[in-house]
Structure 1
Amino acid sequence: MSTYEASLASAAAFMERHERFLVINHVNPDGDATGSLLGTGWLLRQLGKQAVLVNEGSTPEKFGFLPGAEQIINASRAEKPEFDAVITCDCADFARIGDVKEWLPLGMPLLNIDHHPTNDLFGTDNLVRTDAAATAEVLYDLLTYMKQPIPQEMAVCLYTGLLTDTGGFRYSNTTPHVMEMASALLACGVEPAPIAERMLETITKAHVRLLQRALQTLVLRDTDQTAYLTITAADMEQCGAQNDDTEGLVNYARNIEGVEVGILYKEVASDKVKVSLRSRSIVDVAAIAQSIGGGGHVRAAGCTVHGTLADAKQIVEQKVSAALASQEASV
């Protein structure tokens, strides 16, 4: 039995061993986090278990079409439920669950289901496959291992996670296994066009207003190999924008011809900046993010800098410049 198969067996045993579960995804959830959360809740109920699904905040409206999305609780507006075990979905480290961590007593059994290379294996049990394109792919492996049939509503959740974390099957993490999984989910009744339209094509007016402002801040550096955009807290307020309205903005920096690293600085407060990093082919932005207390993937990562925008830019850009110089020196 391989190490991964042993992890699948351990995860299945964890679900069988406990009865009342709290299932959590990461703060500011994306399609993979939300789809995996709903998929895990569905699986637990199939096993005859109780499952409460929770986010630190509200679930973005664009995921409202996912079957069961109305069952996800906003922890900031709810009382702590009764549970005897926890499952986290798509969280690279314990901090990513946000303030919900205050609900968890010390030593609580916790199954960590994830795919981030920077995952620090914080669970008492860990089902982590770092070469998977999405946590939805790991969950699909678990369903296959447990010989669980996949109805259409479950397939929609998993497909959404897979679609979003592969950028519509465009990113380098689109493997043969990913395409085989997508094909199997389509055979379960998934209609791909409406999901792609909602997840990849439709943008909010607030997003457009932010984009207009962000493009005016575009700066190229490192002989045009780095590009960055900036969004201030005032921009967010004046555009009537929510966190999910910033999704995809960083790609406008990264997608410029000749640019290797794209960066989006989003000012949360006068002393707090969220940083999104994307790279094209040579720079490991997960390593950069992890060195600042964040994490993610080789080509897509993020971190939070506690300081001003100027502080954040100085810290991040020094690290990006050093990474580029190191790559050039090794050629």
Structure 2
Amino acid sequence: MFSQVIETIKAAKHLTISAHTNPDGDAIGAMVAMGQICALMDKPYTILLEEPIKKLSYLIETCNWATSLEQPVDTFIALDCGDVDRLVGYKAYFKDAHTTINIDHHMTNTFYGAYNIVEKEASSTCEVIYQLVFALGLEINVPLGQALYTGLVTDTGGFMHNCTAPSTHLAAAKLIELDFDAPAIYRKLIHEKSLATVKLQGMAVSHLECLDEKGIYLATLSQDELVKSGATKEDVDGVVSYLKNIEGIEVMAFIYPKGENSYKLSMRANPPYDVASFCAQFGGGGHILAAGATIDGTLEGATRLVKDKLKEMMSS
């Protein structure tokens, strides 16, 4: 499964590594892990990252990253990214690369690379990278282990989501044998919230609307509320999971500002609902029980559109 990718990495003169826009802990963990793999193999690399995420600074400080490149791209590795369009600002680099590799675990992946490793049963892209490390015969050091553990914890919701498999726990068990503070990372990723996030959670709850007695809920945040809270983009990320944990909610749709005249739809669900397919209607995607999309226009327009599609889903 890994042989062609391994040979391609070995033959590369320089590796450019990136992931989907607005990268989460699994995406950044996978990028940093791949960077550490390159370092162990004495391969020059650059991680392309829109901007550092404060909560994950303990990973970024150990690697070589930049917001753009000047040199031509030899080998481009896209990680945790279901389709090439989700590379957004780095799509052109991917298109111009001499060789492309796509490593992912999303069920919606379009196999857009020249070489593809897509493990749809894996808990996270970091779990796939963990397997690649052993296929390469490398020894996992602390920076690599921290990056992989970050991805495992993030995409499983702290080993709570149903994507968590025995292989996930076995990988985590092996990683926490290394000399890093795994409980501190777990606490930072799962439990620690900024004051702005807590304020946003309260605002979102005040807008919580039940759309169906089966537990379909919607919440929104306006641009004014986002400004009032003093929140950053990073502060908003955990709100949807907080809402989804309210008793009785089976499907949670959360709409909030992403940019000027642009809104993010984040969704979480319990089985048997498929929010990845739901978000695909808006050009988004993700996991069956955790997905998202971007909707252009006003908050009122985005809310109305999502409500209409949810009603269609409930009636089908």
> Are 2:36 and 2:143, in contact at CA under 8 Å, matched by a contact in 1?
no
1:111-153 CA deviation, whole Å, 9 max, x = no partner? 1111111111111111111111110000011111111111122
The one-letter amino acid of 2:23's match is P
Aligned residue for 1:272? 262
280-289 or 219-228: which moved more? 219-228
Structure-1 separation of matches of 2:74 and 2:241: 41
- Report whether the alignment pairs 1:98 with 2:106: no
The one-letter amino acid of 1:59's match is P
TM-score, normalising length from structure 2?
0.94
Aligned residue for 2:51? 58
1:33-60 CA deviation, whole Å, 9 max, x = no partner? 11110110111122221101111x2111
- Report whether the alignment pairs 1:308 with 2:298: yes
Structure-1 separation of matches of 2:116 and 2:279: 22
Structure-2 separation of matches of 1:152 and 1:106: 34
Quickly say closer, same or farther: Cα 1:240–1:102, change in 2 above 3 A.
Answer: farther
Aligned residue for 2:3? 9
> Are 2:268 and 2:291, in contact at CA under 8 Å, matched by a contact in 1?
yes
For the residue of structure 2 that corresponds to 1:187, the secondary structure is coil
> Among 13, 22, 35, which residue is 1:19 paired with?
13
Where do residues 129-168 of structure 1 align in structure 2 (5 Å cutoff)? 129-168=119-158
For structure 2, the residue ranges without an aligned partner over 5 or more in a row are none
The one-letter amino acid of 1:93's match is D
Once the two structures are aligned, what percentage of the paired residues are identical? 29
For structure 1, the residue ranges without an aligned partner over 5 or more in a row are 327-331
Structure-1 separation of matches of 2:242 and 2:178: 35
- Report whether the alignment pairs 1:43 with 2:33: no
> Among 100, 106, 124, which residue is 1:116 paired with?
106
Structure-2 separation of matches of 1:205 and 1:81: 41
Instruction: Give the superposed CA RMSD.
Output: 1.8
1:139-197 CA deviation, whole Å, 9 max, x = no partner? 01111111111112211110011011111111111100001111111123343211112
Report how many residues are paired. 316
> Are 2:81 and 2:104, in contact at CA under 8 Å, matched by a contact in 1?
yes
TM-score, normalising length from structure 1?
0.90
- Report whether the alignment pairs 1:184 with 2:177: no
- Report whether the alignment pairs 1:317 with 2:311: no
